[in-house]
Each structure stands twice: as structure tokens, then as C-alpha cells.
């Protein structure tokens, strides 16, 4: 299911006030990965990936699934599984359908610091001026708002793949770029893909990539995968086709695959003057601090 922005509300224990962490709002997610490995890239004498032959490929038949696209997705997923410590900076634009059907757009940046299998810190900023930080250390997950000095901490499972699911399903919190962890799991069902085609070579943020278009039930998406020996996803566009307004989510990713972090990066320590509050679960119940 693909959802547009909704505010995360943390109810203050014993008070009517609530903390709205807008920058932790939900974003559409790309379907679980069928790993695309773009057509093999050839290195030029200068070290850059060489563009394919000038003659354009024939347009794919309607609703055709190009097996090379699935291979490209698999190659990308396999490469992501080799990364044990990395940083990803993202910039995203997400449409929200207003009551009158008009689309409103919200921009957001996120910096993810990742250490497999149990370390994650995410700093989120949106164009409304909200800033929030998510911490996960394999035992607990905490969300902190520096502006309000409110935070919530909940028990968490032992791995990144598990915590992303728990935060989404139990607390209605979506981790930015969570698709990375879906692709990493390698659980994509090829039968879910209605069509998949290769669109050609494109430059994204200074990197040569192969662009792919995929269609699934209720969603059309495109992905740009870096050419060569490091098939990183560089850009993603998702359109929710089940919504008449067809809201779109676009994200560009900048990678540092050699980043390393001290364990303390993933541990949340409440700053002086901050206040722990309760968090509301998706079922409407409130989880009190310390429980």
C-alpha cells in the first residue's frame, strides 16, 4: 500500500498535547525488490562507463517483462547485501493529494547512517523547517525532536529488516529510503510485476546510470541504477496509479559506501531538558514511557 504524507503524533503521557513529527511522515514505498541489473556496462579507456550503441532499442511490447530488467534488479540487490556500513543522503519530493484533488508537494532531506545488522541513525529535515532524528541500536528505537525536546523510545527487534517493519506496522512510522532494506531482503516476487522495460542510459547527479520502468498493481515506478561494478540505486520515482490524483514520490540518493561509525552513533542519549513522552500505536492505544 502506498500512502502520502501523514503526521506522526506522539501523545504526551497524562496530557492532551501531542507532538507532531512532520518530517517522519509516511512516504510511498517502492515494491519489494526484484533486483534489476542493468545491461552490462562496458568501461571506456578513461574509466567511465561507455554508453550503449547509438541505435535505440525497439520499444517493448505492451505489458512485456524484459528478463534483463529482473536480472538488473537482482544484481543491485546482491550488491546492496555486500554493504555492511554506509551513509546515504537523500533528497525527496512527495505529492500529497488535498481534499479538492489538487496535489501539494513537500520536500525532505534525510541522512541515513547504517551499520548492519543492528545500527541506524536517520536525520530528517523538511522544507517546513522540521528536524527530527531516529536512533536504532538493535535493542531500542528512539525518535527525538530537537525543537520541542520531546522524544519517544520503544523496544525494537534485533535487525534492521525487522525494525523497519515494526516501526511501520506497529507505530505507523516509515523510515526514509526503507526500500533499501526491502531490496536487501531479496524477497521480491517476480509474479507481481506486470511490465518491466529498459529505457536507456541517463546521467543522475554526475553518475551514468541505466533507467528502468516497472509496473505493478496500483503503482508505476522507475529506477536509475549506476552502471559498472557498483550497481547502486541513484534515483527512484513512484506514482500511485490507484489514486485518481496520481501522486508522485521522487528521491535522489547520494552514497558513501566506505563510511564507518562508532557504536555511540546509534545510541540515543536524552539531552538535558528533554522530555520522554508516550507514543500512539497504529491500533489507537498509547504505549507509556518505560513500557
The class level of CATH for 8-39+61-287 reads mainly beta
Confidence of residue 4 (pLDDT cuts 50, 70, 90): very low
The pLDDT assigned to 185 comes to 56
Average pLDDT for residues 44-48, to the nearest whole number? 36
pLDDT of amino acid 186? 55
Q: What is the pLDDT of residue 189?
A: 74
Task: Give domain limits for the chain.
Answer: 8-39+61-287
pLDDT of residue 26: 39
Tens digits of residue pLDDT in 96-142: 999 998 999 999 999 999 999 999 999 999 999 999 999 999 999 99
CB atoms within 10 A of CB 118: 18
Range among 22-31, 45-54, 162-171, 222-231 with highest mean pLDDT value = 222-231
User: Largest alpha-carbon pair distance within the chain?
Assistant: 68
Is residue 2 predicted with pLDDT exceeding 90? no
Confidence band (pLDDT; 50, 70, 90) for 48?
A: very low
**Which is nearest to 231 in space by CA: 215, 214, 255, 251?**
255
| Higher-pLDDT residue of 116, 49 | 116
pLDDT tens digits along 156-201? 999 998 999 999 999 999 888 887 776 655 556 778 899 999 999 9
pLDDT (mean) for 52-74: 72
- Choose among 264, 248, 214, 181: nearest CA to 68: 214
Radius of gyration of the chain (CA): 20
pLDDT at 159: 92
Long-range contacts from 241-248, C-beta under 8 angstroms, 24+ separation: 242/2, 242/217, 242/218, 243/97, 244/101, 245/95, 245/97, 245/101, 245/102, 245/103, 247/4, 247/28, 247/94, 247/95, 247/96, 247/97, 247/103, 248/93, 248/94, 248/95
Give me the chain's average pLDDT, please: 81
Residues 256, 18 contacting (CB under 8 angstroms): no
pLDDT on residue 180? 78
Amino acid at each position: 500500500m502506498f500512502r502520502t504524507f501523514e503526521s506522526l503524533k506522539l501523545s504526551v503521557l497524562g496530557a492532551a498535547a501531542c507532538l507532531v513529527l512532520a518530517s517522519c511522515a509516511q512516504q510511498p514505498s517502492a515494491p519489494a525488490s526484484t533486483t534489476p541489473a542493468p545491461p552490462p556496462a562496458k568501461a571506456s579507456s578513461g574509466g567511465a562507463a561507455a554508453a550503449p550503441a547509438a541505435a535505440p532499442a525497439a520499444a517493448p511490447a505492451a505489458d512485456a517483462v524484459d528478463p534483463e530488467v529482473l536480472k538488473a534488479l537482482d544484481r543491485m540487490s546482491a550488491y546492496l547485501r555486500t554493504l555492511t556500513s554506509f551513509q546515504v543522503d537523500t533528497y525527496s519530493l512527495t505529492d500529497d493529494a488535498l481534499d479538492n484533488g489538487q496535489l501539494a508537494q513537500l520536500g525532505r532531506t534525510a541522512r541515513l547512517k547504517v551499520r548492519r545488522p543492528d545500527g541506524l541513525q536517520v536525520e530528517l529535515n523538511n522544507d517546513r523547517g522540521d528536524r527530527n532524528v531516529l536512533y536504532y541500536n538493535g535493542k531500542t528505537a528512539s525518535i527525538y525532536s530537537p525543537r520541542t525536546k520531546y522524544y519517544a523510545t520503544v523496544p525494537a527487534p534485533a535487525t534492521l529488516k525487522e525494525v523497519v517493519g515494526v516501526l511501520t506496522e506497529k507505530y505507523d512510522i516509515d523510515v526514509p529510503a526503507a526500500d533499501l532494506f526491502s531490496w536487501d531482503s531479496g524477497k521480491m516476487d517476480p509474479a507481481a510485476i506486470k511490465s518491466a522495460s529498459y529505457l536507456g542510459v541517463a546521467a543522475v547527479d554526475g553518475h551514468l546510470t541505466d533507467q528502468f520502468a516497472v509496473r505493478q498493481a496500483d503503482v508505476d515506478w522507475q529506477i536509475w541504477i549506476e552502471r559498472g561494478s557498483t550497481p547502486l540505486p541513484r534515483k527512484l520515482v513512484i506514482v500511485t496509479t490507484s489514486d485518481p490524483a496520481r501522486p508522485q514520490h521522487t528521491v535522489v540518493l547520494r552514497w558513501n559506501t566506505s563510511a564507518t561509525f562508532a557504536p555511540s552513533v546509534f545510541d540515543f542519549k536524552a539531552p538535558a531538558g528533554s522530555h520522554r513522552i508516550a507514543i500512539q500505536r497504529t491500533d489507537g492505544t498509547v504505549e507509556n514511557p518505560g513500557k
